Amino acid sequence: MISRRDLLMAGAALAAVVTLRGLLWPMRAVAGDTFEITRTDAEWRALLGEDRYRILREEGTEPPFSSPLDDEKRNGLFQCAGCALPVYSSEAKYDSGTGWPSFWQALPGAIGTREDDTLFMTRTECHCRRCGGHLGHIFDDGPPPTGKRHCINGLALSFVPETA
């Protein structure tokens, strides 16, 4: 059984690696990527604030278990925090136990993907198809029906509850 101390130490180590990764390997523009919504870095910073800017524009990662959206249980839509495009439905949300909001699928046509080979491994990065904001990564260890786990930064999202 893992002790609380070991879990906290692992979380601190992960946060340090993620922070270092963001400083050493900032968001890479992929040739041919064009998005409907574009802004200057200064405009993005003013719109998003430093924490969201780091996640959405520099491919940062928030610490695990830090987002209130991980525990969000209401029906509604999760939107890109950069441009308000609906990207995930609460119907596809589940508790992966990883500490980040997780979904087994995105809304149709909402995200784009590309290979991410940072952190000494190859992963599938996902981003908002409209503004290019980094959302998180997709893994092959999710539940049916897709078997996918979209592990998404809570700071990359805003939640809009369903109205009656």
- A 10 A CB-CB count for 65 gives 12
The 3-class SS string of 23-84 reads: HHCCCCCCCCCCCCCCCCHHHHHHHHHHHHHHHHHHCCCCCCCCCHHHHCCCCEEEEECCCC
Residue 59 in tokens: 């491919």
**151 annotated active-site:** yes
Strands in 76-80's sheet, in edge-to-edge order, are 86-89, 76-80, 157-161
8 Å CB contact between 107 and 162? no
Q: Which of 83, 126, 131, 151 is catalytic?
A: 151
3-state secondary structure of 124: strand
Which residues are part of the catalytic machinery?
A: 151
